[in-house]
A = this chain, B = another copy of it.
Amino acid sequence: MGDRFDEILRSARGVLVSGHVRPDGDCLGSQAALYHLLRALGKDVSVVNPDPLSPRYAFLGEETPFGAYDGARTEGGVPPYDALVVCDVSTLERTGPLAPILRARAAPRLVIDHHVPDSRESWDATYIDEDAPATGLLVWRLARRLGVSLPLPALRGVFVAVVTDTGWFRYSNTTQEALAVAAELVEGGVDAAALYRHLFQQFPAEWPRGVATLLSSLRYRADGRLAVVSADRAALRAAGAPSFDEADEVLDLLRAVGTVEVVLVFREMADGRVKAALRSKGDFDVNRLARAHGGGGHKKAAGFDVPGPFADSVARVEEIVAREVDAWKGAGRG
């Protein structure tokens, strides 16, 4: 695996690196690592994503030039290239507005990813390992294979990729490789505590009140196996946290309760839609539930949107999820 992939990459002079909409730490970290790997091989490299860096990942832009689709410019600002590498997603469709532009170009298309591949997409070569905890680890393996010694910004990229997708080494995909590579990254100069501060300690002052507001609405369903919290715009505004975007910590706090298997968080968006985020601690598949409502994600982390009004939609969806968790308990446990 990877021969044709490596060959195309080696022979290209100019490489475009892209990824999925709303790029996360694994996508961006992989791209940072790949950018510096390809630069070390003497190539012209551009990174262009469908979306700009979110504030959480802005610090990565200080070491790696991340570009974003620019509808105001010709071809969205995508420069010419001899090979395209898409990171952390295996369908061009998920590059959003970039998809038609990338499809129209004649250059070979490569993908490096750890998700289940989409068989409808055609690639000139792939480097896909569904068992890898993060795409960033595949870039690390690629560098080994190509004999490239990665500079510090690339090592930081791999670290960000790995900690993003392993939940900072807490999820069940925390493999020997994930930890052993992290050890080498630290040996190479990566400062784990500094990256933690960049990624998880830059919230605005009003954020803890948003957490409190959500938590104060807590109710348990399905014999304590389901924890539900919700907050509409008025409640979040009253707490001084109208733009409460980061709910991962709330989901974590509710998962910390011993009886809880599934967590459900509702927030009212600015446009009146209701955002439902789901997490599972064990075997309950929240992705199936999210898909049934037009959303998606992974087995343990998924989400979907439904139209308002808030109270009605929350009551309806909460009831459906409670029934599912109840039924699962009966069937899966016993």
- Spell out A's residues near B (CB within 8 Å): 168-172, 174-180, 182-184, 186-187, 191-193, 196-197, 200-205, 207-209, 211-212, 215-216, 218, 220, 224, 227, 249, 253-260, 281
CB distance from A198 to the nearest CB of B (A): 10
Q: CB < 8 Å: which of B179, B183, B224, B258 contacts A202?
A: B258
A251 to chain B, nearest CB (A): 11
Q: Is the CB of A208 within 8 A of B215?
A: yes
Please report the C-alpha to C-alpha distance between residue A202 and residue B258 in the assembled complex, in whole angstroms. Answer: 4
Interface contact B193-A187, CB-CB below 8 Å: no
Q: List 11 A-B contacts (CB under 8 A).
A: A169-B192, A171-B193, A176-B183, A176-B187, A179-B180, A180-B180, A203-B256, A203-B258, A204-B257, A205-B259, A212-B218
Would you list the 10 A-B pairs with minimal beta carbon distance, nearest first?
Answer: A179-B183, A212-B215, A180-B183, A172-B193, A174-B192, A176-B187, A202-B258, A212-B216, A170-B196, A179-B182
Q: When chains A and B are docked, how far (Å) is the Cα of A216 from the Cα of B257?
A: 20
- State how many angstroms separate the Cβ of A236 from the closest Cβ of chain B: 14
* CB <8 Å contact, A205 and B186: no
Given contacts A168-B169, A171-B192, could you give 8 more A-B pairs where the C-beta distance is less than 8 Å? A168-B168, A169-B182, A183-B183, A201-B255, A208-B254, A209-B218, A212-B216, A215-B215
Contact B176 A205 (CB under 8 A): no
Q: How far is A220 from B208 in the complex, measured between Cα atoms in Å?
A: 11
Residue contact B216 to A209, C-beta cutoff 8 Å: yes
Assess A186 versus B196: contact at CB under 8 Å? Given A207-B257, A212-B218: no
On chain B, the residues within 8 Å of A175 by CB distance are: 186
Chain B proximity of A299: nearest CB distance (Å): 13
Q: Which residues of B contact A259 (CB under 8 A)?
A: 205
Chain B min CB distance to A63 (Å): 20
Q: Are B197 and A281 closer than 8 Å at their CB atoms?
A: yes
Q: Which of A183, A197, A205, A259 is most buried by chain B, counting CB atoms within 10 A of its CB? A: A183
The answer, among B172, B180, B256, B281, for a CB contact under 8 Å with A249, is B256
Q: Which residues of B contact A174 (CB under 8 A)?
A: 186, 192-193
Q: Establish whether residues A193 and B212, one from each chain, have CB atoms under 8 Å apart when the complex forms.
A: no
Contacts of A224 in B (CB 8 A): 205
**A301 vs chain B, min Cβ distance (A):** 13
A191–B254 CA distance with the chains assembled, in angstroms:
22
Which residues of B have CB within 8 Å of A212? 211-212, 215-216, 218
Selected contact of A172 from candidates B169, B191, B220, CB within 8 Å: B191
Known: A169-B168, A192-B174, A281-B197. A205 touches B220 (CB 8 A): yes
CA distance A33 to B202 in the complex (A): 37
How far, in Å, is A58 (CB) from chain B's closest CB? Answer: 12
Find A201's partner among B191, B249, B281 (CB 8 Å cutoff): B281
- A192: which B residues are within 8 A, CB to CB? 169-172, 174
Q: Which residues of B contact A211 (CB under 8 A)?
A: 211-212, 215, 253
